[in-house]
């Protein structure tokens, strides 16, 4: 394992000069959570106010807020916002409502571990303080939600530094899906590209469009272009040719869940990128906070893969359907990249190298 000691205040200022920083926030009156509606990008920058349980569930389900860390941050604020509406209840009624809200939100997307991780943290606050008045518990929930957000900021800044240490001026990097500020606080897999820009480094990023929801096209290229990063958008099936052309020095991808052996769930298509990179001798790094590592999950076979609506393939971005209505579709949201295809896992605690089953344990024991 290697780690970089950094001045986070300096890194934060650098990232703020190039990154989107207000994608999730609590409203001033604590009655709603405000998000950038990512479904509307890149053509419209729309801030949406979420003030009830169903809208919070749908915001996650419909990918208005997406990216494992961002979902965790949003869930923390959302469960606090909902709890504040119940703060006049007695504890039994309050907790009954809390659990109902928590379980419903947790069902919105099953693969990203940060959602359940954040909700479990909030539940622990309630359980550890049930002897206190409900209003006091609600105040503690707000503190915990803010702590989850602030911890993600610190983790992202460290990940950006650790990731940037793997790159040199002039490198070409391929990335898949979106793991930038829209998906986190400052970015994981795309964060190092933004930090490189802030420091005057020239990194050429090739962004897969990431079918069928086009997160690479709509979000990653949007973030990088707005920041002034040299970005080229490619179709998913062009990854091989840019690697063969010698334009790619490394692949940086995000992660929604990492198993104890290093198997990594990320946006569908990630495993294909890793297989191609293996063929061409290109290193592949998965970048994400340690909260994404699920040490209770032994391997990728135990990661539940979310299946989404077939219409996302046939209809979502087109004026007319791109296939006959009776044509069946298979639409998994994620796939699992075998740990043997990964060069390293970049976390806020350092860069973990194989053997992952051994070194991931060390990461949590240090």
In sequence order, what are the residues at sequence separation of 6 or more whose Cβ sits closer than 8 angstroms to the Cβ of residue 139? Answer: none
Closest of 327, 223, 211, 214 to residue 272, by C-alpha: 211
Strand partners, 230: 204
Which among 256, 263, 299, 301 is annotated as catalytic?
256
In sequence order, what are the residues at sequence separation of 6 or more whose Cβ sits closer than 8 angstroms to the Cβ of residue 2? Answer: 162, 165, 350, 351
Distance CA(304)–CA(351), nearest Å, equals 26
Q: Would you call 256 a catalytic residue per the annotation?
A: yes
- How big is the CA angle at 41 (ends 14 and 331), to the nearest 5 degrees? 115
* HEC string for the chain: CECCCCCHHHHHHHHHCCCCCCCEEECCCCCCEEEECHHHCCCCCCEEEECCHHHHHHHHHCCCCCCHHHHHHHHHHHHHHHHHCCCCCCHHHHHHHHHHHHHHHHCCCCCCHHHHHHHHHHHHHHHHCCCCCHHHHHHHHHHHHHHHHHHHHHHHHHHHHHHHCCCCCCCEEEEECCCCCCCCCCCCCCHHHHHHHHCCCCCEEEEECCCCCCHHHHHHHHHHHHHCCEEEEECHHHHHHHHHCCCCCEEEECCCEEECCCCEEEECCHHHHHHHHHHHCCCEEEECCHHHEECCCCCHHHCCCCECCCHHHHCCCCCCCCCCCCCCCCCECEEEECHHHCCEEEECCEEECCCHHHHHHHHHHC
Q: Do the bridges between strand 264-267 and strand 257-259 make them parallel or antiparallel, or are there none, so unpaired?
A: antiparallel
Strand partners, 294: 259
Active site residues: 256
């Amino acid at each position: 394992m290697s780690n970089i000691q950094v001045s986070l205040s300096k890194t934060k200022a650098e990232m703020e000069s190039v990154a989107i920083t207000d994608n999730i926030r609590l409203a001033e009156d604590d009655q709603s959570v405000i998000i950038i509606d990512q479904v509307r990008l890149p053509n419209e920058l729309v801030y949406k106010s979420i003030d009830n349980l169903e809208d919070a569930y749908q915001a996650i389900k419909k990918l208005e807020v997406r990216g494992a860390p961002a979902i965790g941050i949003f869930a923390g604020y959302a469960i606090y916002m909902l709890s504040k509406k119940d703060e006049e209840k007695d504890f039994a009624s309050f907790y009954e409502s809390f659990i109902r809200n928590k379980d419903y939100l947790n069902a919105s997307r099953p693969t990203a571990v940060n959602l359940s991780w954040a909700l479990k943290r909030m539940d622990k606050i309630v359980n550890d303080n049930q002897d206190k008045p409900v209003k006091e518990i609600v105040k503690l929930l707000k503190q915990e939600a803010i702590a989850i957000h602030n911890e993600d900021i610190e983790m992202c800044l460290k990940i950006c530094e650790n990731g940037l240490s793997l790159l040199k001026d002039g490198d070409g990097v391929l990335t898949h899906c979106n793991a930038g500020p829209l998906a986190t606080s400052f970015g994981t897999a795309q964060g190092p590209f933004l930090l490189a820009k802030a420091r005057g480094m020239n990194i050429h990023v090739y962004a897969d469009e990431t079918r069928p929801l086009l997160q690479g096209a709509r979000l990653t290229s949007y973030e990088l272009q707005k920041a002034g990063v040299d970005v080229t958008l490619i179709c998913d099936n062009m990854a091989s040719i840019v690697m063969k052309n010698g334009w790619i020095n490394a692949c940086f991808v995000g992660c929604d869940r990492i198993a104890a052996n290093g198997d990594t769930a990320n946006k569908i298509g990630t495993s294909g990128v890793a297989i191609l990179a293996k063929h061409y001798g290109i290193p592949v790094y998965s970048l994400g906070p340690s909260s994404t590592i699920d040490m209770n999950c032994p391997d990728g076979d135990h990661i539940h893969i979310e299946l989404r609506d077939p219409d996302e393939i046939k209809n979502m971005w087109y004026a007319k359907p791109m296939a006959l209505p009776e044509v069946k579709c298979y639409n998994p949201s994620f796939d699992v990249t075998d740990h043997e295809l990964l060069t390293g896992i970049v976390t806020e605690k350092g860069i973990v190298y194989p053997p992952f089953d051994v070194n991931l344990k060390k990461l949590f024991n240090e």
